[in-house]
Amino acid sequence: MPHKNDSTPNQHPKGQKDKGQRKKLPPSQESLEPAAFPGPVPYTMMERFYRYLYYLGIQLLRMKHRRMRKISYKWNSFARSVKKDFFHLWRELRLALWSGWRNLTSPLREMRLHYRELVEELQQEEKHGSQTGRLRFHIAWFLICRFAAAFRWLFHWIAPIAACIGVYLLAKSYAGQTYILRLEYNGEEIGYISDESIFNQAKNAMKGRLAGETDAAPADILPHYELIPRKGEPLLSVDRLTDILIRSSGNELVEADGLYLETSAGSNRMELLGAVTDGAELLHYLDSFKEQFRTTTMRDARIEFLKKIQLKPGLYPVSAVRPVGELKALLSEEERGEAYYTVVAGDTPLRIAEKNGISVADLQAMNPQVNLEVSLFPGDELLVSRSVPKLGVKITATERYRESIEFEIQQETVPSQNVGWTNLKQEGREGIREYTAEVVYVDGQETERNVVDRKVIREPVPQILQVGGNRPLQVVPKTSSSTLPSGTFAWPTSGGRIGPGFMGYYGHTGSDISFSGCYGTPVYASAAGTVVKVQYGTTGYGYHIVVDHGGGIQTLYAHCSELYVSVGQQVSQGQQIGAIGRTGNATGPHLHFEVRNNGTAVDAARYLYN
């Protein structure tokens, strides 16, 4: 009978059978083998799910590595192909350049080689004392022929390049050349102008000067132009050409200064009003006409006419010359006077404006004394057009003015005083702001105002008003057991019940109100009062609020998730002040509601349930 400790070849000690039979894996494969999920039968499904995810992750990683290797291989193949093609092209280009250069210089190299052979032959003949005349002639003839061939070869290459350079220089010289027109009019050469528009302007100016002439109207003759390069010839201006053309009209002319006025502002069409022999007096009148609008408050104002006005010296017909006084009177006239509209039955401001071609805003601006919405009656007269002078004046002035800045009224709450008590703590004072504006006046009426700068001269001082913040209860209990009228304290949430209540467990000084899904529901002020504490704590009460109701009564709302009030704020009964939560020392969402009488916590149920 064998010994107990003897073991057969098929028997192994405990713990050694798996070691002997399990095949040892390489370290790389052992690291990829997932660890066995510990646990009995309930964890079998979790272990299989874990192994499946592990296998799926390994396959995704392998797929990623294969994809990256393919991309890397394709990219490297592409780069090698591009590099190979580049070096091939570079080599072909170098060979082509070298071959071209060899072909280009081959005649010169052949000539130099043959010349050396002839020179060596000549030296040998001279050494042996032979006749060298024939050989010298041959060398000279060779050089002449070769130089002629080299010249032809150089000409074939240089001629196209020289032609391109010549064309470029010729084009550049012509591009920089200035061309002018030689003008012929009525069969005679007049002079030179830069372009045809000069003649057209001069022709229109001539017709304008002779517009009132009936005996000798200007002839409508076509001009003749010739384009020539300019070589320093003087060019005719519009005014000079106008004088030349007007001489050919056959009218009696005189040297004078013509007064031109723009037909309408911004049109750039000038009309001849007349001519005077003394333009200086007329200029003095125009300057004094503008200066009469300059006042002491507009010393630096820019005054100009609305329409362009010009005084041009030149040749004018005798009939166009007028006395200076007549032109002054003409400039002082009005283009149109004031126009009024008589209201008829059914007229409205919009209809009146449409009838007269103006806007409702302009109609109101011309009749500021009339309420267009309620004061229109048949027979009333409204101004629909102002008088417009022939010489309108535009004044651009820089004005500085000041405006007051209203002060704010700030309120400070004094919790120790009852509601209704007020006290003026600080008098308010208005500030001052200075503006710098560019104001435009047209014929005395302001048309535009642009503020270019503003600065505060004096800051406003706010008025501080103190108000009482204490809102006492109408009925204040003297003891915690005293009864209160119904409605003195309201339920602080939108539902629920108390549990646990006051002293429901050791140290619990409040009443916990909770219900299913209460997290985030509103928390209401149980009674009107003043918020005296708002605390965002993380321990104890957590987020909590204390409201003072006067008479020593305060309420506490703890473990909130949100707080919607601030210290000093007045709240009314039923006003939302927060939301139920579980901040601080709380095992679940609920409202810890607490009533304090002179700082001592009392049973809140007595106040809620009366």
Q: Quote the distance between the C-alpha of residue 178 and its chain's center.
A: 44
DSSP state of 493: B
Per DSSP bridges, beta strands 409-418 and 463-470 are parallel
Q: Which residue has the higher pLDDT, 239 or 480?
A: 239
Q: Quote the distance between the C-alpha of residue 411 and its chain's center.
A: 41
Give the Cβ contact number of residue 312 at 10 Å: 19
Q: How many residues does the chain have?
A: 610
Intervals of CATH 2.70.70.10 along the chain: 482-608
Intervals of CATH 3.10.350.10 along the chain: 338-386
β-partners of residue 464 are 410, 426
The kind and range of the H/E element at 601 are: strand 600-602
Give the pLDDT score at 452.
92
Burial class (CB in 10 A: 0-12, 13-18, 19+), 147: exposed
CB 183 within 8 A of CB 223: yes
* Most confident of the ranges 158-162, 490-494, 603-607: 490-494
Q: Residue 88 corresponds to which tokens in the numbers above?
A: 């091939």
Global pTM value:
0.45
Mean pLDDT for the stretch of residues 394-423: 86
Q: How far apart are CA 248 and CA 242, in angstroms?
A: 10
Could you read off the pLDDT of 177-208 as tens digits, one per residue?
A: 788 888 888 778 888 888 888 888 888 888 77
The kind and range of the H/E element at 195 are: none
Amino acid in the structure at residue 268: N
Instruction: Indicate the pLDDT class of residue 486, thresholds 50, 70 and 90.
Output: low
Could you read off the pLDDT of 282-296 as tens digits, one per residue?
A: 888 888 888 888 877
Q: Residue 284 corresponds to which tokens in the numbers above?
A: 């003095």
Tokens 């002293």 correspond to what residue?
A: 503
CB 395 within 8 A of CB 301: yes
Intervals of CATH 2.20.230.10 along the chain: 399-468
Could you read off the pLDDT of 561-593 as tens digits, one per residue?
A: 999 999 988 899 899 999 999 999 998 999 999
Give the pLDDT score at 362.
81
Structural domain 482-608, CATH architecture = Distorted Sandwich (2.70)
Q: Which residue has the higher pLDDT, 96 or 334?
A: 96
Mean pLDDT for the stretch of residues 515-520: 92
Question: Taking the domain 399-468, which CATH number applies?
Answer: 2.20.230.10
**Average pLDDT, rounded, for the chain:** 81
Q: List all residues 6 or more positions away from 192 whose beta carbon is below 8 Å from its beta carbon.
A: 180, 181, 182, 183, 230, 233, 234, 235, 236
Confidence check: pLDDT of 481 > 70:
no
CB 317 within 8 A of CB 213: yes
Instruction: Indicate the pLDDT class of residue 5, thresholds 50, 70 and 90.
Output: very low
Secondary-structure class of domain 338-386 per CATH:
alpha beta
CB 251 within 8 A of CB 209: no
Q: What are the CA-CA distances from residue 303 to residues 123, 262, 264, 393 (Å)?
A: 102, 17, 18, 7
Could you read off the pLDDT of 458-474 as tens digits, one per residue?
A: 999 999 988 887 766 65
Q: How far apart are CA 559 and CA 268, in angstroms?
A: 82
Give the pLDDT score at 374.
65
Mean pLDDT for the stretch of residues 90-101: 84
